[in-house]
Amino acid sequence: MAGDLCRFDELGRYLFEQFCHELADDDALVVWVRRGAGELERLREAVAEAGLKAAAGALVLTNVPVPPGSLAVARVLDAEALTALVRSRPQLLLRVPALLGIVDRDALLPHDVCERSSADVEAALALARVFVPTRAYAAARAAVERFGFAVLTGPPEMGKTAIARMIGLAKLAGGCELHECIRPEQLWERFAHDRPQVFVADDAFGSTEYRPEAADRWAVELDRVLRALDERHWLLWTSRPAPLKAALRRIHREHGVERFPKPAEVQVDASDLDVAEKALILFRHAKAASLPEPAIAAVREHGWTVVSHPHFTPERIRRFVGGRLLADLAVTAEALSAEIREPTAAMTESFRALAPEHRAVLVALLDVPSGPVPEHELTAAVRRHLRAGFAQHPAAVLDRLSDHFVRIGEAGAVTWVHPSWRDLVIEETAAAPAARQAFLRACTLDGLLLALSVAGGTGSRSLPLLRSDTDWDLLADRLAELVPALEPPDTTRLLVSLEEALAARADPELGAVAAGVLRLLARRGLTVALLERWLELRRQLTDRPAIPDLTALWIELEPSAAASAAEVDDWVTLVALLRDHDPDTLARFGFPARQAAGMHAFLARGEPPAELGRRLRRFVPELAPHDVLREPAKLELYVPRQLSPELEALLAAPLHDRWADERLVFRVLRDL
C-alpha cells in the first residue's frame, strides 16, 4: 500500500494544512513532517508539544504513515487514511486541486471517461504537480458551480488556462468528460445531453499565436451556449472579456436578466497574486523539479527576490526552475532578476503574429508618457506611426488587443497589461532596423527619451534604439524639429535624460547630440531654471558650446526698488551660476558694484522672505546687509485642517509589513 499512497510531502505544510482543514475542524492537530529518518519521532514530539491526550478525543492528521499504537491519541488520520479519503471523495479534488498532482494517474482518472475526453489530459496532469489554488481559482470554481459558466481574464502567463484545466481535471476524476475547444463548433460536436461534461474554451490551445477573433466567435454563440449549460455541463472561457460583456448585454436586452448572469458575476481576474500564492508557486515548481541541494539553497536564498519581482508570472518561474537554475547553480540575484524579466518565447511569437495595424498600437504606446494614457492621445500617437491610417475604427483595434496586451480602464485610459510587454515591444522594435528607424522618424519627445534611456529592461539596456549611424542621424534630425517648440517641463526632461545618459555612457555620438541640443536651446533663450540644467549638461561635454549671451536675462532680473522677491531670487541663482561657470561675464556685468543701489532699494522695502535672506547671505554677501535675518523669524502656529474621511481611513489602515512577507516566503521555501 505504501507505494500507492498520495505524495503528501510534495504539498509542503501550507497546502497540506489547507487540505486537512477541508476535512476537520480547527481543534484537530495538523502535523506536516519532512519524510525520512526520524519522521515518527518528530511526529511524537509535535503531538507531545501540543499536549494532546487520548481521553480528550484528540484528532491528529499527518502526512506520514503511522503504525497502529504509535501515538497516544484517540484518533489518527495518517498518510494511508488520508489517501483513502482522497480516493473516496472526488469532490475534495475540486476544493483542493493540489491533490490532483500527488495521486497516481491510474488511481485518479476513470479510463473510460478519459477515452471519451478530447482534452490534453497529460498536459493537465503535468500542470497539477505545480498548481497552486489561488483566490482566482476559488472565485472561478464558485462562479462555475453557480452558473455553469466562468470567464478567466488577465495577461498571458498568469494562470488562466491552468485554473480552467484544474477545474476540468478535478471534474474528470469524478467521472465528467473534459473537452478543450478553440471554436464553438467543437463544443457542439462533442456536446452530449446524457453525460456530464466540462468545456474549456481557450484561444491558445495548440498555438502560441494571439487569436483575438476567437472570442468574437464565442460571443456570437453565447446565447445558445448559455442555454445549454446546467449543473452537468460547464464552460470555462479564458479569452478576452469585452466580447463576453457585449454578448451578455445583448442577451439581457432580448431575454431579461433572470436566467443569465451579469458579467461581474462570472468574470474572474487571474492576475492578482498575493505573496503567499507566489511563494507557493515557486515552492511547487522547485519541489516538482527534484532540484539538487545547491539549487534548493539558491531558491531559498533568492526566494524573496523572485516573489517580489514585478515581472513574476507562473510561466517564468517554470522556465527559471527548469532551465537557468539547473544550468547555473551559482545563480546571482542580478542574473535571476534578468531571467524573470526576460519575455517568454510564447510572448514573442504572440507579438510577431499581430497584424501591422495592431502592432502599431503597441509601438505607439512607447511614444506616450508612462502610465495610463487617454485613448485619444494613444490614437494620435498611432496615426503618427501608422502612415497608412486605420483600416477600422481605433476603438475596435484596441478592443482586439485588450486583456492580452493592453488594459483599458474605466475612464478609457490605456496601459500595458503587464510591464513585460513594454520590454518585449522595445526589444522587437530595436532589433528590426526598418521598424526602429520608422519609430525615430515619427516619435515625439517621449519616444526620443526612450531612445536615450540607459537603465531600462534588466538595468543593462542602454540607448536601445540607437544602433547605427543612421539611427543617430534620425535622432538628431527629430530633436532639431522638436526642441525649438518644447515647453520648459519637457525641456527639463530632455536635459536630465541627456545628463543621465552621458553619466552612464561616454559616447561621442551622444556627446554630439547633447551639444546640438544645447545650441538649439541657446538660440531660443533660457530661463534661469533651464540655464542651470543647460550648464550642468555642458559641464559633462568635451566639445562645449559657448555659453549664450545672458545680457537680456540679467537686465530683466537685476534688483531694483520695483523688483519682486521671485525676480531677486532668480537673480541670486543667476549670480551663483555665473560664478561657477562664467565668472568673466559676471565681472562684465559690473557685479557687485553696479547692483548695490538696486539691492539696497529692494531691501529698503522691508525684510526679504527668510529663505531669500539666507540665499543673499550665502551667494551675494557683498550686497547683503549684516542685519538681514538678524532677528529670528516669527513663528506661526500651524492649525491642522480636518482630514477627509478617505484620508482618515487610509491612516487608520495597518501598515504593510514587508518583513512579515519575507518571513512567510522563508517558511514556505523551508519545506523544499
Determine how many CB atoms are found less than 10 A away from the CB of residue 327.
9
Give the chain's mean pLDDT.
Answer: 84
Helices (H) and strands (E) in the chain, counts: 37, 10
Share of the chain above pLDDT 90, in %: 40
> Cell 538628431 sits at which residue?
476
Give pLDDT tens digits for 373-403.
888 888 888 888 887 666 777 777 887 787 7
Q: What is the mean pLDDT of residues 198-207?
A: 70
Give pLDDT tens digits for 411-429.
778 888 777 888 889 999 9
Record the pTM: 0.72
pLDDT bin (cut points 50, 70, 90) of residue 211 is low
Residue 1, pLDDT above cutoff 60: no
Give pLDDT tens digits for 583-639.
999 999 999 899 988 888 888 887 788 888 888 888 888 887 655 544 444 555 556
Give pLDDT tens digits for 218-257.
778 888 888 888 899 999 988 766 667 777 777 767 666 5
Q: What is the reported pLDDT for 259?
A: 62
Residue 525, pLDDT above cutoff 60: yes
Tell me the CA distances in angstroms from 598 to 563, 593, 601, 617, 626, one per residue in order: 9, 10, 5, 16, 17
Q: What is the reported pLDDT for 459?
A: 46
Q: What angle do CA 259, 265, 268 make, to 5 degrees?
A: 140
Give pLDDT tens digits for 65-104.
988 888 877 688 899 999 998 888 888 899 999 999 998 8
pLDDT bin (cut points 50, 70, 90) of residue 641 is low
Residue 61, pLDDT above cutoff 70: yes
- Contact (Cβ atoms closer than 8 angstroms) between residue 245 and residue 269: no
Spatial separation of the C-alpha atoms in residues 537 and 499, rounded to whole Å: 6
Q: What is the reported pLDDT for 285?
A: 93
- Contact (Cβ atoms closer than 8 angstroms) between residue 200 and residue 238: yes
Q: What is the reported pLDDT for 616?
A: 85
Tell me the CA distances in angstroms from 569 to 368, 557, 608, 656, one per residue in order: 35, 9, 10, 42
Query: Which phi and psi (to 5°) does residue 199 adopt?
Result: -115, 135
- Contact (Cβ atoms closer than 8 angstroms) between residue 584 and residue 567: no
Q: What is the reported pLDDT for 213?
A: 63
Domain ranges of the chain: 2-88, 91-269, 348-539, 551-623
Give pLDDT tens digits for 262-274.
777 888 888 889 9
Q: Which residues pair with 383 in a beta bridge?
A: none
Q: Where are the beta strands (DSSP E) in 34-186?
A: 59-62, 75-77, 149-153, 177-181
- Contact (Cβ atoms closer than 8 angstroms) between residue 244 and residue 237: yes
Residue 131, pLDDT above cutoff 90: yes
- Contact (Cβ atoms closer than 8 angstroms) between residue 54 and residue 74: yes
**Minimal CA–CA distance to 104: which of 210, 189, 10?**
10
pLDDT bin (cut points 50, 70, 90) of residue 2 is very low
Spatial separation of the C-alpha atoms in residues 489 and 530, rounded to whole Å: 9
Residue 475, pLDDT above cutoff 90: yes
Cell (9 digits) for 9: 510531502
Q: What is the reported pLDDT for 24?
A: 83
Q: What angle do CA 296, 300, 305 make, to 5 degrees?
A: 125
Residue 166, pLDDT above cutoff 90: yes
Q: What is the reported pLDDT for 325?
A: 67
Give pLDDT tens digits for 562-571.
888 899 999 9
| CATH code assigned to 91-269 | 3.40.50
Q: What is the DSSP string of 170-217?
A: HHHHTT-EEEEESSHHHHHHH--TTS-EEEEE-TTTT--S--THHHHH
- Contact (Cβ atoms closer than 8 angstroms) between residue 519 and residue 531: no
- Contact (Cβ atoms closer than 8 angstroms) between residue 39 and residue 31: no
Q: What is the mean pLDDT of residues 44-57?
A: 73
Give pLDDT tens digits for 643-653.
777 667 666 76
Q: What is the mean pLDDT of residues 457-484?
A: 87
Q: What is the reported pLDDT for 458?
A: 45
Query: Which phi and psi (to 5°) does residue 657 adopt?
Result: -100, 95
Query: Which phi and psi (to 5°) does residue 525 adopt?
Result: 95, 150
Residue 561's identity, in one-letter code, is A
Residues constituting the chain: 672
Q: What is the reported pLDDT for 210?
A: 59
Q: With left for phi above 0 and alpha for psi between -120 and 50, is residue 36 left, alpha or beta?
A: left
Q: What is the reported pLDDT for 515?
A: 95
Please give the distance of CA 76 from its chain centroid, rounded to a whole number: 45
